[in-house]
Amino acid sequence: MSDNHGSEERKEYKGKSRDRHDSGDPRDQEMGDQGEGDYSGRRSRQKMFFKRKVCRFCKGTVKLDYKDADTLKKYITERGKIVPGRITGTCAKHQRKLSKTIKQARSIALIPFVEKYR
């Protein structure tokens, strides 16, 4: 092979995609060996829908109260950390109130600060 041929090949691909399926969209990149057959390694063009998380405090189904330890335990992990709002679905306003309420319940020993290690 001549050295000249290699440089021509590089010039040919310069600025162009080497993948014939690549349309420039990062969602269209191949996913490796997972997609054999009809799937052919590309992600589906269909949009993925998910159920939007709704703040239960805004809806009014749950009330914030530092004395209600059972409700507050749903918003802390088994290790005692406060679960973030992006996971529970609480809005920023109620997440701030929730964290204050949990800290208040911790200070009067209704909820433990940290679970014991086994």
Check which CATH number belongs to the domain holding 96 and give it.
4.10.640.10
Full residue range of the structural domain in which residue 103 is found? 56-107
Give the integer Cα–Cα distance in Å for 76 and 57. Answer: 16
Residue 14 in domain = no
Q: Residues 34-65: pLDDT tens digits?
A: 545 555 555 666 777 777 888 999 999 889 99
Residue 64 in domain = yes
The model's pTM? 0.56
Q: Is the dihedral of CA 14, 2, 20, 26 positive or negative?
A: negative
Q: How many residues does the chain have?
A: 118
Q: Residues 57-110: pLDDT tens digits?
A: 999 988 999 999 999 999 999 999 999 999 999 999 999 999 999 999 999 999
Residue 75 in domain = yes
Q: What contacts 24+ positions apart, CB below 8 Å, involve 93-98?
A: 94/55, 94/57, 94/58, 94/64, 97/57, 97/64, 98/57, 98/64, 98/72
Domain count, the chain: 1
